[in-house]
């Protein structure tokens, strides 16, 4: 059985891991926001070509998820994590050589593969570093590194592009990835029990968390709608600075992260997730009714309260349902469900929006929440309680 660290949460190793994820996410999101402008103005790409950059990146990340989980469980957390971060940095600097759209696509595929591996490592290591009694709290606080990064990165990326130095964004992101690698190298990784297993689909996916994976997929259908259409809806309403939707959404996420993890560690996921459902229904209804900036911004904050409770709660649940040596596979299964949900949600909700408008589409999101709620109440929560109790008994032994 893996020896757990002391109950103190903000240890030196945890802080370095937090910084690792922060630097990596800032760099990744800066590339995400800056590359469309680079492609349009430097490479003379078309709108459809720009859209393909997101598609190939997401598809590459999704394909590598199973292999990433296997590598973290079978090859080792440290070597997999550090190597992926180092390659990330090299690829960022490699963008400085891009002179055609073809090579930009090649680099996006390679970066998507690397992101699929690197992004899976942080939550696994966070679960390894914190004591079981504070796991939900630890995973929740850790994901704030992503929240903070996503709030500032798009603005930094666009700000660099606005200076006219389009290639400058690749230098800055490369430096950020180097900082991420150095922070990760300073983490003292806990001893990792490894049970050698031949590569197979069973070794890549974790069936024990299927109930949580299904719920995760359903919830991220809605996130696909938010990511794709919230700003477009704001522009349709004439909201100035519609990008503030995501900043206020991040504020809501930060607020709930301050208490949701502690509540889950003491009372289980049910009260946290029920609160999340209430906030999300309210938020999507208000968003669908928005006709002015105040209501649009308020809905962003409320949806953030729901997301900030729901998403880290689900991730903490999967780590409580498996033994340490299967956390890599469990996390990859979780992220695969997330990717499928976001991707399918963007397509399905886009179809609805084209035929009914954004307001009706967001109201449909509120109604859709009945399905994941029933899934949680009658299936996921009961399955979680049984399997988490089994793992807790092993940890006590």
**How far is Cα 393 from Cα 357, in angstroms, rounded to an integer?**
51
1 burial (CB, 10 Å; 0-12 / 13-18 / 19+) is exposed
Fold of 205-396: Growth Hormone; Chain: A; (1.20.1250)
The reported pLDDT for the residue numbered 72 is 85
DSSP state letter for 4: P
- φ/ψ (deg, to 5) at 239: -75, 125
Contact indicator for 22, 85 with CB cutoff of 8 Å:
no
Helix 293-320 to helix 327-356 angle (10° resolution) is: 150
The reported pLDDT for the residue numbered 47 is 62
Greatest C-alpha distance within the chain:
62
Select the CATH number that applies to the domain covering 12-190 from these four: 2.60.40.10, 3.40.1080.20, 1.20.1250.20, 3.40.50.170: 1.20.1250.20
Cα dihedral sign, 187-193-196-199: negative
Element (H, E) at 194: none
Say how many Å lie between the first and final Cα of the chain, rounded.
Answer: 8
Residue 8: partners with Cβ closer than 8 Å, 6 or more residues away: none
- Number of other residues whose CB lies within 10 A of the CB of residue 325: 16
The reported pLDDT for the residue numbered 51 is 63
Which residue matches tokens 């609160």? 275
The reported pLDDT for the residue numbered 4 is 45
Contact indicator for 85, 20 with CB cutoff of 8 Å:
yes
Contact indicator for 213, 308 with CB cutoff of 8 Å:
no
pLDDT below 70 — which residues of the chain?
1-6, 47-48, 51, 54-55, 192-197, 199-200, 241-243, 395-397
The reported pLDDT for the residue numbered 367 is 97
The reported pLDDT for the residue numbered 247 is 83
As a 3-state breakdown, the chain gives helix, strand, coil percent values, each rounded to 5, of 85, 0, 15
- Number of other residues whose CB lies within 10 A of the CB of residue 178: 19
CATH 1.20.1250.20 boundaries in the chain: 12-190, 205-396
């Amino acid at each position: 059985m893996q020896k757990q660290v002391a109950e103190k949460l903000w240890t030196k190793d945890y802080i370095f891991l937090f910084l690792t994820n922060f630097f990596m996410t800032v760099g990744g999101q800066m590339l995400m926001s800056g590359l469309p402008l680079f492609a349009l103005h430097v490479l003379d790409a078309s709108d459809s070509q720009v859209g393909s950059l997101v598609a190939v990146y997401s598809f590459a990340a999704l394909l590598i998820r199973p292999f990433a989980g296997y590598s973290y469980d079978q090859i080792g957390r440290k070597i997999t994590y550090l190597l992926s971060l180092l390659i990330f940095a090299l690829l960022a600097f490699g963008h400085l050589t891009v002179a055609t759209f073809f090579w930009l696509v090649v680099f996006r595929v390679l970066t998507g593969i690397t992101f699929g591996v690197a992004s899976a490592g942080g939550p696994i290591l966070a679960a390894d570093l914190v004591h079981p009694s504070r796991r939900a709290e630890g995973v929740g606080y850790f994901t704030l590194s992503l929240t903070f990064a996503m709030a500032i990165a798009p603005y930094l990326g666009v700000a660099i592009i606005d200076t006219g130095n389009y290639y400058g964004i690749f230098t800055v992101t490369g430096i950020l990835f180097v900082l991420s690698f150095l922070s990760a190298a300073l983490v003292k990784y806990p001893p990792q029990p490894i049970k050698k297993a031949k590569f197979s689909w069973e070794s890549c996916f974790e069936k024990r968390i299927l109930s949580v994976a299904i719920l995760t997929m359903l919830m991220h259908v809605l996130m696909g709608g938010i990511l794709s259409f919230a700003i477009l809806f704001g522009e349709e309403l004439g909201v100035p600075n519609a990008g503030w939707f995501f900043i206020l959404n991040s504020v809501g996420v930060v607020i709930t992260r301050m208490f949701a993890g502690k509540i889950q560690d003491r009372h289980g996921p049910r009260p946290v997730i029920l609160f999340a459902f209430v906030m999300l229904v309210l938020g999507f209804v208000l968003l669908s009714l928005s006709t002015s900036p105040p209501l649009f911004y308020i809905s962003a904050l409320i949806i953030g309260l729901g997301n900030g409770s729901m998403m880290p709660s689900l991730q903490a649940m999967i780590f409580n349902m498996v033994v340490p040596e299967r956390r890599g596979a469990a996390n990859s299964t979780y992220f695969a469900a997330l990717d499928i949900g976001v991707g399918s949600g963007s397509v399905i909700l886009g179809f609805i929006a084209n035929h009914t408008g954004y307001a009706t589409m967001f109201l449909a999101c509120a109604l859709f929440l009945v399905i994941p709620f029933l899934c949680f109440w009658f299936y996921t929560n009961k399955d979680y309680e049984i399997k988490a109790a089994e793992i807790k008994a092993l940890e006590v032994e």
